[in-house]
Chains A and B, each alone.
Chain A
Amino acid sequence: MSSAVVFTSAAQSRPLVFDGKAVPEVSLPEPGEARPPQAVRYAELSSSLASNPKLIDVTQASRLEIRPAPEMVSSGISAIDALTGGLPRGCLTEICGSASSGRTTLLLAALAAATRRGEFCVVVDASDTLDPHSALAAGVELDHLLWVRCGEDTNSRSAEKKSRAKTFFSSETRQSDHRMEQVLRATDLLLESGGFGLIVLDLGDLPPQAARYIPLTTWFRFRRVVEHTPTILLVIEPQPIAGSCSSLLLQLGSQCEEPDGMHALRPTHAHLLTGLNITAELLCSRLERKPAQSTAFESKTAWAG
């Protein structure tokens, strides 16, 4: 339907014109007359517009269908589920935090939950950091997990050596750019392929400036592709980078208290790293307007029993 332009000229008391056609005249007040209340004016205007045959098929904005709420599935950690309602399908979820904040623990828990449901999952690993033994200990079914290890290959490294003298950027930035290109391209292909229950972009160890170079349009594209699919797109990162494209944003941190017995005169092999106390803060949720909340849970190392 072509766009409608309504010209009004209340001062001259001329009739409304819609696409060059005059619509029935709305009774406008005389200059000295008291103006009718706004509700009455709106009712008159809407009734006169509704009588126009061109507007019969137009759905009023107030009657437009509301997008259904996405299906929420378990993240594998009940404290997180209680905080966020789970992870939304067809949406982008960001989990940010610094080193030892519990991001990977949450990632593996989500992978374990998804593979337990029989879904196929992908980890696009920008820094090649996934530890298979931790994944197995977390309960991830490894035959349901596709691992894409991004990073430098020998060909690109030799090409980089050749071009090193010609560029002004540091080698670290170039490596990050190359990795980032691999990550984004691989994610694009996997999203287009479809059929995965959970796709994880692990950008956790990339320098923050490299992650910030990802254009916002990329995140918009990812959000659009994943929309209306049963896939959860999960991004692990040091700082939030997807902006308004993410439906859920969680900030993780760990409380690193001094373990008991640190000062005791015990040999170090009598100590044991038993786990982390992780706090999760819900920074943003576009699914439900909730105030910022937080929760805490504990993770245990595989040998802690």
Chain B
Amino acid sequence: MPFACIYVPNFSVAAILRAEPELKTSAVAVIEGKPPLERIIAVNERARRLGIAPGMTKAQAELCEGLTLRLRSPLQESSAHAALLDCAQSFSPRAEDAARDTALLDLAGMESLFGSLPEISRAIHNRAAALGLEPNVASASNPDAALLAARGFTGVTVIASGKEAEQLGVLPAEVLFAEELQKGKAATGLLETLNRWGIHNLRSLAALPQAALSERLGQEGLRLQQLARGATQRTLVPVETPLLFEEAIELEHAIVLLEPLAFLLNRMLEQLCARLAARAKAAQELRLTLELETYTSRKEQFLRTLRLPVPMLDAKVFLKLLQLDLNAHPPGAPIAKIHLAAEAARSRAAQGGLFLPPAPEPEKLELTLTRIAALVGENKIGALELLDTHHPEGFRMQRFIAQAPQKQPCKTAPDAEEQKSIVTALRRFRPPLKANVTLENSQPLHVACLKKKEPHGAVLWKAGPWRSSGDWWEREAWSRDEWDLALQSKSEGQISFYRLVHDLLAGNWYLEGTYD
């Protein structure tokens, strides 16, 4: 039964490089501790070549030119760890969270999906690289052999079944104690003992006689020998990772302008989208939380939520939407920390029906609606929803969602539909035009609006009044008389039909609209 291991060397540095990919070509060291006692905890290969090693002080490291120092970021490390698990889970549902930099996965039955073992290993490596990690990937017939190979060999390694001892033999003995060494502990007593015996690689350890080794090192010695031979057998402990997609960046210097913020958001969104794609999900909602630097010591949080009409997975669209939203609602203070979370949802089916009418693309439409909302106002664009009231403006705007119809629209008798659709429409004046009305026997005789260009003239014909009222149980009660009028303008001689309203509560007259 084949297993694979994904191991990210220098994990603290890898987490930093994932957030700042432009540093991949430079020497980077990660420091931790309270000033002025910061110490280096991880370095990349370039920094190692410059002579930088974990344990050095910051002052010592600063003497080296061309070295970039970064503070350890637990937030970025947790994002990188989540990305690592996403990568593992995208290939197999049985994945073990072996360490923060290591994931093990069971590849049983995956050949039919992803091809042979080397192909799967390469695919895992490529996907991890797409998620911003540079891992070592190894596959073997048991999880421990895969783990040792991933920690010992760079790149992609495939160990054929039965050749574990042969291929692992060249690895140094330190591989067996990698976790202890990573934690900065001194070499364990066992490693010192092995070094004193002249055992420097796994082949030498595997060749030792079992009984003699057990007498000297006990059960731990036997376990290490089994590991060196690649002969251990154990079951995986699969982990069920929650679908949490979050990325965060802590900034050393607060940013003020939206342009550099957009630059950082772009990176985070790309990582987020890659993680969502790895789990075959899309984003239904984006939550951006900015931690702001204020003059007071108290830190303020600025939260923006983008609720998307349909699940989407396009980093560019998300970035544009966030940019437009931040332009409309700027944070108002320098930004010290960025946290971006996506609520995952099932990806939508992209293909529409062959005989269905076209519908706007949701991504394009959402961008367009946001741009127009920035132009005309947020509450002035959308679909109509009528309210259960007799109030003349009894409607509200709701979000417009262009869901493509799932079935062909039914065809009814065209004549009946047409007769229904030739309805004399009202064009409303918003706000209604205040009018001076001359009455005769309580009926309008002449109407004149306040402005010269607005409708005015003698009443040729009238119908009404039609009385209505409502909401008397609330503060915004209304009561009105409606008249339908034909007005003849003196200047143009043109006859037009209007709706005249008498507000019974305020006593004012208004022209509410024209029949057109």
Contacts and interface: CB of A to CB of B under 8 A. Distances in A.
Q: Which 4 A-B pairs have the closest CB atoms?
A: A195-B360, A271-B463, A118-B409, A256-B495
Contacts of A118: 356-357, 405, 408-409
Contact of B514 (A100, A113, A145): A100
Interface in B369-401: 369, 371-372, 375-377, 380-386, 392, 395, 397, 400-401
Interface of A: 74, 76-78, 98-105, 107-109, 112-113, 116-120, 127-139, 142-143, 145-151, 153, 172, 182, 185-186, 189-190, 192-197, 204-205, 207, 230, 256, 258-259, 262, 268-269, 271-273, 275-276, 297-302
A79 to B, nearest CB: 9
A175 to B, nearest CB: 13
Contacts of B461: 258-259, 262, 271
Given A116-B409, A271-B462, A189 B377 contact: no
17 contacts: A77-B418, A98-B494, A100-B516, A109-B422, A112-B420, A112-B421, A127-B430, A129-B427, A130-B427, A145-B384, A149-B380, A268-B483, A273-B484, A276-B424, A300-B423, A301-B424, A302-B423
Given A118-B408, A139-B417, A105 B516 contact: yes
A292 to B, nearest CB: 22
Interface residues of B, number: 69
B386 to A, nearest CB: 6
Contacts of A182: 375-376
A189 B368 contact: yes
Contacts of A147: 381-384, 397
Contact of B381 (A120, A138, A146): A146
B423 A276 contact: no
Given A138-B425, A147-B381, A301-B515, A132 B376 contact: no
Given A76-B422, A138-B420, 6 more contacts: A112-B421, A119-B357, A189-B368, A256-B497, A269-B464, A297-B422
Provide the main secondary structure of the chain B interface: mixed
B368 A268 contact: no
Contacts of A142: 383-386
B375 A99 contact: no
B358 A195 contact: yes
A69 B474 CA distance: 58
Nearest to B486: A256
**B400, B494, B515, B516 interface centre (most CB from chain A within 10 Å):** B516
Interface in B457-507: 460-466, 483-484, 486, 494-497
Contacts of B463: 268-269, 271-273
A111 to B, nearest CB: 9
B384 A204 contact: no
Nearest to A142: B384
Contact of B421 (A76, A101, A207): A76
B364 A194 contact: yes
B443 interface: yes
A193 B365 contact: yes
Contacts of B357: 117-119, 197
A189 B383 CA distance: 17
Contacts of B465: 268-269
Contacts of A207: 453
B375 A185 contact: yes
Contacts of A129: 427-430, 513
A134 B384 contact: no
A149 B464 CA distance: 31
**B369, B372, B381, B417 interface centre (most CB from chain A within 10 Å):** B372
B222 to A, nearest CB: 69
Contacts of B367: 193
B264 interface: no
B426 interface: yes
Given A118-B357, A120-B359, A147-B384, A107 B425 contact: yes
Given A98-B496, A131-B427, A146-B382, A195 B422 contact: no
B380 A104 contact: no
B423 A230 contact: no
A131 B383 contact: no
B361 interface: yes
A147 B427 CA distance: 14
Nearest to A134: B425
B384 A190 contact: no
A182 B372 CA distance: 8
B454 to A, nearest CB: 11
Contacts of A258: 460-461
A112 B424 contact: no
B254 interface: no
Contacts of A138: 420-423, 425
**A99, A137, A275 interface centre (most CB from chain B within 10 Å):** A99
Given A117-B409, A142-B384, A205-B427, A100 B421 contact: no
Contacts of B372: 148, 185-186, 189-190
A113 B465 CA distance: 34
A137 to B, nearest CB: 5
B251 interface: no
Given A128-B430, A195-B402, A136 B386 contact: yes
Contact of B422 (A128, A273, A300): A300
Contact of A299 (B401, B422, B429): B422
Nearest to A191: B368
B417 A116 contact: yes
B361 to A, nearest CB: 6
B219 to A, nearest CB: 69
B446 to A, nearest CB: 15
Given A118-B409, A298-B422, A276 B381 contact: no
A34 to B, nearest CB: 64
Nearest to B426: A131
Contacts of A302: 423-424
A196 B422 CA distance: 23
Nearest to B513: A131
Contacts of A298: 422
**B380, B397, B421, B460 interface centre (most CB from chain A within 10 Å):** B421
Contacts of B417: 112-113, 116, 139
Nearest to A154: B377
Contacts of A112: 417, 420-421
B515 A276 contact: yes
B427 A300 contact: no
**B368, B386, B409, B484 interface centre (most CB from chain A within 10 Å):** B368
B424 A300 contact: yes
Nearest to B409: A118
A215 B466 CA distance: 45
A146 B516 contact: no
A190 B516 contact: no
Nearest to A78: B418
Contacts of B361: 193-195
Contacts of A128: 380, 428, 430
A136 B414 CA distance: 17
Contacts of B424: 105, 134, 273, 275-276, 299-302
Contacts of B383: 142-143, 145-147
A113 B384 contact: no
Nearest to B365: A193
Contacts of B494: 98-99
